[in-house]
Structure 1
C-alpha cells in the first residue's frame, strides 16, 4: 500500500525512523549454519537460570500481592539502596534518591533524549559510538559532533573546541566500548570531566560492560571523578550483562534535579518498571551472589576473546589492525582503506560467516567504511577459529 492510499498519517518523526542495522543483519544470520560474530548478545552460559527461578518463586510466594501491584515510578527502594551502597563502596558516593530504575539502558537513552535534546541540539559522541544510542537520540533530531578516538579512547581536548561549544550533552562509554572494546584511560577521564565541567556540558556515562573486566585494574567512574571536578554526570547501568538481558532492568544515577525530571518523563512513558522483576533481582543480588557469579562470567569472556585474538593473529593479513580489549564483548577491526566492510559482509555471508560493518556506528561525515565489529561472546571456540579463518581469507583476497 502506497502512502497516498493509507487511511492514516504517521508523524514526521515516525517517518524518519529507520531500523537497526544490526537487527537487520541478525535476521539474515539467524540460520543455524551461519557463524555469526554480529550480535552483541551475552553468552547464555552465563545466565544464572536456577537462581533467578528461585528468586521469582520466593517473591511470588511471600510478597505476591505486592509484586503484582502498581508501584512508585522511582523503583523498588531496597534495590535502589543496594545499588547506591554498591556504588558508594566503589567510590561513587550515591544515595538511593539519586537512582531511578528503568526498562534496560535503552529506555534510559530514550528518556535522556527526551530530557536534553531539542531539534538541532548539539550532542557530542565518540567516533565510533554505540549504534543503539544513535538510534535513541536521533528520534529527537539532534546535530551530532563527533569526538575523535585512538587506542586510549576519546580525545578530551576536542570537548573544548569551537565545534563542541554549546553542546547539550556528551555521550560516552568509558569501559570496553561498544563497538571498539576500548577503555578510556585514567588521565583522559580526569581531563574529560574537567573540560566538561568548564564548558557546562553534562556527561552521559553509559557503563554496561564495566563489570566484564578480565584484565587491568578497575578505573574510577566518570561519575566519581565528575563529582569531584564539579561536572554533571549521568551514569547508566544495567543487569543485562551481569544477570540476563531478558530481565530488561537498568538504572540511571544522576543529581536529584535530573532524577526528578526523569521521573516525570517515565511517568508519561510507562508509569514504572516491572515491580515483580525488580523484587526478584533484588532477591538474587542482596546476598552477594554477584561476587560469586561474575568471576565465572569474566572467565568465559576472557577465554572467548583469547580464542578470537589468537585466530586473528594466525589468519588475518598484516594490513589489518584490531583492538585488544581487556573486557567486554567486542573487537574492532580496521582494514586497508580500499576495502568496504559492507561489500565484504555480503561475501562473508555467502561463506556462512557474519559480522557488523562499522558504518552504522558513526554519527557524522567521518564514516570509515573499512571498519567492522566482531563479537566473540556467544560463539564456541571451534566456530570462532573456523569463522575467523574464512574471514581472514576473504580480507586477504580483497
Structure 2
C-alpha cells in the first residue's frame, strides 16, 4: 500500500503541534503548546441567538448550495472593516470566503506553485503555511525575522539570486515569534518587491488582538497589485466556524475561485449566515476589546514570570498583541531536550524546530499565553525555568 501514496503527501510532515497536543491531554500538565483562543470568550449566547434567528427567517434558504465567492453580506462586512480600520477600499468582488484562512494558503499554493518554484517564507515561520505549501513542493527560501521585521539584506540577496513567485508573511504578532514588522521595514520590503513578479501574501489572523501601540500600514496600501490578504474570524469569534477570507485583485481571484470550486464548491453557507447575523446584531469591537484586555493581562503575567524564573542568557519577546512569546535559549541548548525535561515537570511548549524549513534541532521555543490564567502561567513558567536551569 505504501507505493500507492503520492510523492507530495509522503513528503509533507505531520503537524508537529497536533502531535504534541496529544501529550498534553493529561489535565495535570500545564500547556503553553496550543495556539488556541480562550474558550471563555466564545460568544455562545450571541451565536445561539443568531442561529435561531436565521433558521426562523430563512431556514430553507440557508440549507441550500450557495455561490463559491461566499455570502455577500459577510463579504460586505469585511470590506467595511478594511475601510474603517486600514483606510483600504476593497471591492466586495475582491473578497472570497474561505474555510479558515488555512484554506486560503492551500488555494494560493494550487493557483501559483509548480514543483521547484521559489517561495520566500519567514524564519521562524508559521508551521501551517510550511505544511500547506509543502504539498506543492516549492523551493523554500527562509528569510530571518526579528523585532526589526524581515531581514532586508537577506531578502535582497534572495531576490537577486532567485525568482520567487510568493513571499509569505504574518506581519502582525507573528506566529510563532509574536513580533510585528515596523512600518519602515514594511516599506523597505515593498520597495524590494516593487516591479518584480512576486506576490506578497499578508496573513493577518491576529491583527485585531493588539494590546499596545497603533495599527501598522498594510502591504495592500504599499503594493496593492502585488498583495493578497488573508484574514480569519477564528481568533475574534470562534475557530469551529472555520471561516476566513482571501482578498485578491480580479485576475488572481478568477483563478483562485476555480481552485476553490474544485476543492469544496463553497464554504459552509450555514456558518456564514449565522456569523453574519451575529456580527450584524452584536458589537464585535466591544467583544474584541474584552478579549484584548484579558490576553494583555495574560501576556504581562507571562513576561513577568519569564523575568523572574528564567535564568540569565534566556531571551523572550514581549509582543504588542497576539497569542505567543518566542524564547531563545543559550546557544547549544536543545529545545527538544528541554521539552522532554519539561514534560517530566508537567509543563509543555512547542520546540522551535517545526517553525524552520531546514533545521533538525534549535535553541528556540514558542509559548502560548491565551489559554492559561495568570496563576497557572506563573506556576508553569516557574517549572519551565527550573527545567532550563537543570540542563545548563
Fold conserved between structures, TM > 0.5: yes
TM-fit CA distance, 1:288: 5.5
User: How far apart are the structure 2 equivalents of 1:93 and 1:368?
Assistant: 44
Q: How does 1:1-398 map to 2 (within 5 A)?
A: 3=2, 9-89=4-84, 90-162=86-158, 165-227=162-224, 231-287=225-281, 289-365=283-359, 369-398=362-391
In structure 2, runs of 5+ residues without a counterpart are none
Give CA-to-partner distance per residue, 1:106-153, whole Å, 9 cap, x none: 111111111111111100011100000000000110100111222222
User: How far apart are the structure 1 equivalents of 2:120 and 2:264?
Assistant: 28
1:159, 1:196 within 8 Å by CA — same for their partners in 2?
A: no
- SS across alignment from 1:175: coil
Kindly report the root-mean-square deviation, in angstroms, between the aligned alpha carbons of the 2 structures: 1.4
2:335, 2:361 within 8 Å by CA — same for their partners in 1?
A: no
User: How far apart are the structure 1 equivalents of 2:210 and 2:352?
Assistant: 24
How many residue pairs get matched? 389
1:165, 1:199 within 8 Å by CA — same for their partners in 2?
A: no
User: How far apart are the structure 2 equivalents of 1:74 and 1:237?
Assistant: 15
- SS across alignment from 2:311: coil
Taking structure 1 as the reference length, the TM-score comes to 0.95
User: How far apart are the structure 2 equivalents of 1:125 and 1:192?
Assistant: 13
TM-fit CA distance, 1:368: 6.3
Change (3 A) 1:162 1:176: closer
Give CA-to-partner distance per residue, 1:241-295, whole Å, 9 cap, x none: 0101011000001101111111100100000011111111111112452121111
- SS across alignment from 1:161: helix
TM-fit CA distance, 1:85: 1.5
In structure 1, runs of 5+ residues without a counterpart are none
2:46, 2:282 within 8 Å by CA — same for their partners in 1?
A: no
User: How far apart are the structure 1 equivalents of 2:14 and 2:142?
Assistant: 22
- SS across alignment from 1:179: coil
User: How far apart are the structure 2 equivalents of 1:287 and 1:300?
Assistant: 23
User: How far apart are the structure 1 equivalents of 2:343 and 2:130?
Assistant: 26
TM-fit CA distance, 1:180: 0.3
1:41, 1:377 within 8 Å by CA — same for their partners in 2?
A: yes
User: How far apart are the structure 2 equivalents of 1:92 and 1:165?
Assistant: 31
Change (3 A) 1:195 1:3: closer
TM-fit CA distance, 1:3: 3.9
Taking structure 2 as the reference length, the TM-score comes to 0.96
1:91, 1:220 within 8 Å by CA — same for their partners in 2?
A: no
TM-fit CA distance, 1:157: 3.8
Of 112-121 and 150-159, deviating more is 150-159
User: How far apart are the structure 2 equivalents of 1:186 and 1:287?
Assistant: 35
TM-fit CA distance, 1:13: 1.8
